[in-house]
Structure 1
């Protein structure tokens, strides 16, 4: 029994020593993740910041302790707020902002943790948006004409302004965006009326431009029609003149070949043109036109 007790006792001591060593290691060794800052504080005062991941060593608590801060980009989102535009119109905004810690020591000293940071960011984002919206009229926020909209400019300036204000807390504002832009009930009708008037003005403009273009097309068509008709008339007159000339030439040739027959044909044509069933002629018997009717051809 004595030998067994003597064998067990070193094992117990070894186990106790290993436990104490492990406990001591947990007090002096700590691990840093790639997504975080590790701030080593001595009696509550920051003495160094560890940014790279891995195992590190410190003095045991309570002499030195470790506080961890997330180094990733984080999203801050708030409930609706009401702000005024330059023309004193009230708008309701739901927005969000993205931010990250750039100075862990300043962050720890000023806001301590994420809850404290978001309480400061509420003021930073709200005041930044208020300042920028106060520079523009309502129709520069909501408009059917894309060229008049200034939302991108407002958000860019808001981000710059918020970044300047948040720097003192060890925070970098990355971006600010509007999720919902709405209007209090008292303003909605005036906004709808203005948008309707703008649409009607645009429609009237399109109708006017269409009427002007239609009139221009009609004028061009009428002008082209007159040109075509004039060319056709000139061509017809030319053809007619050529036909008359050809007819005269044929008549001339016929007259030269048989003058008596030609005279006979021409007289018959004259009868046809001047005499019908209702025609009464009173002519002397010696009239040339009657020679074929009287049977005397001398």
Structure 2
């Protein structure tokens, strides 16, 4: 009975020690066995593993591809047009032992802080060597590749491999938005002014052409009218000439009557002439008086 009483606690302690000496490595992670803070074993294969209880401890790290959002930063391209860049990166822990030595007990949090500083520095340097048009164009994949390649060497010291770097957004700083909008508004107003000037110029050309057409039409009409009037006067004079040639005495008489009619009209008209003036030839003639 006494042996059984002492045996049960011993078995319990042995079971506890045995269980605490075993640990399982998941296929999605890697594990380090530490003894007094020093790495004594690296467990990279999934499955059951062992350690010395109470003396050794196990630290696990994710073996999958991880993501980090880079803090937004302001860059100044070659054309001095400042931009706020928002990016993210994919990375993976490739050397857990070196990773542990680099970041210590800080783990993933410390590693991402240091990786963020690396990515920010490389992003600022690469984007600062090109123009804003290159950054905003669809061909900026080459720029992201340059940032990744530059960050790989520095991240290797952390036991980390940078797999990819992507620019999520490139925007203007808040203080520059209003100035940019004003510049865009001024450009649109200038274009509108140019369009109105071209419209006014076209309208003036149309009006000038219309005025020229009116002048030409009026000139042609006046010229034709003068021609017709001249032809009519010529025809009239020809008729008069023929009439004068047919009976000169009658024609002379007709002209005298016409002159009388124009000179002696109603109203208070008065004429002062000599009685023997040629104007009264037909009035003094016997034939004229008799008529």
For the aligned pair, the TM-score class normalised by the smaller chain equals: 0.5 to 0.7
**Which residue is equivalent to 1:132?**
126
Of the candidates 99, 102, 111, which is equivalent to residue 110 of structure 1?
Answer: 102
Q: How does 1:106-255 map to 2 (within 5 A)?
A: 106-112=98-104, 113-143=107-137, 149-188=138-177, 193=183
Ranges in structure 1 where 5+ consecutive residues have no aligned partner: 1-5, 144-148, 202-298
Q: Which runs of 4+ in 1 moved over 6 A?
A: 194-198
Q: Does residue 45 of structure 2 align to residue 56 of structure 1?
A: no
Q: Structure 2: how far apart are the matches of 1:136 and 1:79? A: 21
Partner of 1:179: helix, strand, or coil? strand
Q: Structure 2 vs 1, CA of residues 54 and 182 (structure 1 numbering), >3 Å: closer, same or farther?
A: same
Q: CA deviation at 1:156?
A: 0.9
Q: Does residue 61 of structure 2 align to residue 75 of structure 1?
A: no
Q: CA deviation at 1:36?
A: 1.1
Q: CA deviation at 1:11?
A: 4.6
Q: Structure 2 vs 1, CA of residues 151 and 37 (structure 1 numbering), >3 Å: closer, same or farther?
A: same
- Contact 1:89–1:187 (CA under 8 A) maintained in structure 2: no
**Which residue is equivalent to 1:25?**
18
Q: Does residue 78 of structure 2 align to residue 86 of structure 1?
A: yes
Q: Structure 2 vs 1, CA of residues 85 and 195 (structure 1 numbering), >3 Å: closer, same or farther?
A: farther
Q: CA deviation at 1:43?
A: 2.1
Q: How does 1:247-286 map to 2 (within 5 A)?
A: none
Q: CA deviation at 1:79?
A: 3.4
> Which of 1 and 2 has greater Rg?
2
Q: CA deviation at 1:16?
A: 1.5
Q: Structure 2 vs 1, CA of residues 179 and 195 (structure 1 numbering), >3 Å: closer, same or farther?
A: farther
- Equivalenced residues, count: 187
**Which residue is equivalent to 2:6?**
13
TM-score after normalising by structure 2: 0.58
Partner of 1:78: helix, strand, or coil? strand
In angstroms, what is the RMSD of aligned CA positions? 2.6
Q: CA deviation at 1:187?
A: 3.4
1:193-248, Cα deviation, whole Å (9 max, x unpaired) = 579979x99xxxxxxxxxxxxxxxxxxxxxxxxxxxxxxxxxxxxxxxxxxxxxxx
Q: CA deviation at 1:135?
A: 1.4
